[in-house]
Amino acid sequence: MDRIGQMQQTIERLTRPGRGILAADESYPTITKRLSDFGIESTEETRRFYRGLLATTPGIGESIGGVIFFEETLGQRTDDGMAIPAACEAQDIVPGIKVDKGTVELAGSSGEKVTQGLDNLGDRLDGYLEQGALFTKWRNLYAVTETLPSRQALDANAEVLARYAAIAQSRGMVPIVEPEVLMDGDHDLERCAAVTEAAQVALFDALRRHNVALEYIVLKPNMVLPGKRHARPSAAVCAEATLGVLRRTVPAAVPSINFLSGGQTSEEATANLNAINQAEGAKPWVLSFSFSRALQNPVQAAWSGDNANKQAAQQAFIHRARMNSLARAGRYDPSMETA
């Protein structure tokens, strides 16, 4: 299959009705922190067991179309000896891989960050392809104040995100582009909307400059929400603000927008996704999820590092995935959480 055909097939698999993406791509420091919140020690074995637990949850392919893994996971195996990417494929789940190398301080800025990882990216992607990964993810971060992010930070991050996407597509891999406006801080909803719009305008300008085919990308943005020090708005308000930004910035050529959960609770992220899909007006894209903590927190709580709890953890995972599958179709109701 040629490069374009491979990307088209991957997009079709990721966007099938009712399906979203699980982000299980936490780096070593991040997964250590997440697991420690539930009293679980992060070792190579606990990480292997946990991510294998996710990939082998019976029936999970009905709600999860793709999983973003950390590089370690591509080489690990389930308890039955199957490579974890192959276990995903057995459930018609597309394996993906996080390829950025985290953030460093942006030289010449006032402490802002830029994402790194372009060095030898093409060679790394060739290796990931051999291990079964068919799509990639790169995350940019934007801290919000009254004056930040600066124009410099917006342009620098958009440039590296576009360069990454072009390299991924040159290998026939679908790039997820993630310009995340952080919820940390005391900014209001209007400020979040303004920064989200600016970040996405800069991103799509850069994607065009680098000849990235928009038909073969996935956008992974934040929902428009105020900083954590503010009260949360209703799901309807979040949906209106989020769609307002997307309609002004995202071309219809983009096939899928898979939201990050960004510090929301599991139920809050699901309710907001549901409201976005229920809202009236033009929505030329698939509007789905690519959640990390909002999908995994209940699973980790049920597992608690005790492998005897595997079935309970998988039940928590399938429940959360099904709730988000319903939200993708605008058919979620909070009463389903306890039904």
pLDDT digits (tens, 9 = 90+) for 322-339: 999 999 999 999 999 975
Given a cut of 80, whether residue 223 has pLDDT beyond it is: yes
What is the reported pLDDT for 339? 54
pLDDT in tens, 120-135: 999 999 999 999 999 9
Residue 194 phi/psi, 5-degree rounding, is -65, -45
Model confidence band, residue 110 (pLDDT cutoffs 50, 70, 90)? confident
Q: Catalytic residue among 98, 113, 137, 220, which?
A: 220
Q: Is 220 a catalytic residue?
A: yes
Given a cut of 90, whether residue 49 has pLDDT beyond it is: yes
Its pTM stands at 0.97
What is the reported pLDDT for 213? 98
Given a cut of 90, whether residue 48 has pLDDT beyond it is: yes
Please state the rounded mean pLDDT for residues 212-238: 96
Would you call 238 helix, strand, or coil by DSSP? helix
Please tell me the CATH superfamily of domain 3-7+96-328, with its number: Aldolase class I (3.20.20.70)
What pairing do the DSSP bridges indicate for beta strands 20-24 and 256-259?
unpaired
What is the reported pLDDT for 338? 79
pLDDT in tens, 94-103: 999 999 999 9
Token pair, residue 281, equals 């007006």
Q: Catalytic residue among 178, 215, 228, 283, which?
A: 178
Q: Do 261 and 292 touch, CB atoms closer than 8 A?
A: yes
Residue 269 phi/psi, 5-degree rounding, is -60, -40
Sign of the CA dihedral with 290 first, then 27, 238, and 208 last: negative
Q: Is 178 a catalytic residue?
A: yes
